[in-house]
Structure 1
């Protein structure tokens, strides 16, 4: 019998990507949650080290895993009145010092429970791009925040 979709099947239907939340530690240690339109850059990569000994009879290199690197994570959100959380965080950047924090990005199921979680360690805002302005536009004002971090841990429950 075919699956009629009346009950969510864990093996037939993949998870939707439109229901997610972003949390980070705010001031005084409390957790903050912000609403975002889009999150991108959740990737991790092991750089490749190529090596070949000069007396190797095989005329090709071997490849070994090297340093692991992660991309900056980009978050897009609507501009709201008196919502300065990220600008306040960004303004704490001084010469060689910045307020670093863990950021948790959770993909949620239909009940709001996290199913897949990306945790950024020691994240900090490296770039904030304000919205573009158009006198004849009919769109919502959207700003972009780019976070640098020192590692990405992925958990799929």
Structure 2
């Protein structure tokens, strides 16, 4: 009988920019793409509309986590953009609690869009979190 694999019920995400580790994140949103279609109505055939693929669009990816020791890596990477934004490659590895990699995505041409730091307020007992949003030019084939 085949061994059952963990379906990644409890996942965290390890992120690297080129070879620079940004640490672990507990939320990853926006991994996806869509093919933009152009519609053309066929002349003389009112029942036919052609759906023609034109280009692929990739959605921005948002990564979130509680602030911690790895936060300094993220702010250092963001600060390095002061001398010019250079597209890089980002590898997002989905891992189980025992750090077994379940899936991996390599994003090509990553450009930082936004970093949002924690809202620090003594009146609320919320966990202080940070969020990184990046744009990219595509998912490289084969994961890494």
TM-score (norm 1): 0.74
SS at match of 2:46: coil
Equivalent in the alignment of 1:74:
62
Q: 1:107 to 1:155 in 2, by over 3 A?
A: farther
Report matched runs for 1:36-55 at 5 Å. Answer: 36-53=25-42, 55=43
2:12–2:24 contact (8 Å) kept in structure 1? no
- Point out where structure 2 has 5 or more consecutive residues left out of the alignment: none
SS at match of 1:76: strand
Equivalent in the alignment of 1:121:
108
Which aligned runs of 4 or more in structure 1 are off by greater than 6 angstroms?
A: none
What per-residue deviation string (whole Å, max 9, x for no partner) do you get for residues 16-52 of structure 1?
A: 2514322222xxxx44141112111111111111112
RMSD: 2.9
**CA distance in 2 between partners of 1:111 and 1:78 (Å):** 19
Equivalent in the alignment of 2:16:
23
SS at match of 2:76: helix
Equivalent in the alignment of 2:24:
35
2:36–2:55 contact (8 Å) kept in structure 1? yes
Greater Cα radius of gyration, structure 1 or 2? 1
**CA distance in 1 between partners of 2:7 and 2:142 (Å):** 16
**CA distance in 1 between partners of 2:124 and 2:113 (Å):** 28
SS at match of 1:91: helix
Q: 1:58 to 1:155 in 2, by over 3 A?
A: same
What per-residue deviation string (whole Å, max 9, x for no partner) do you get for residues 41-80 of structure 1?
A: 1111111111123x23233411122210111110112223
Report matched runs for 1:3-152 at 5 Å. Answer: 9-10=4-5, 14-25=7-18, 30-53=19-42, 55-80=43-68, 83-93=71-81, 97-108=84-95, 112-152=99-139
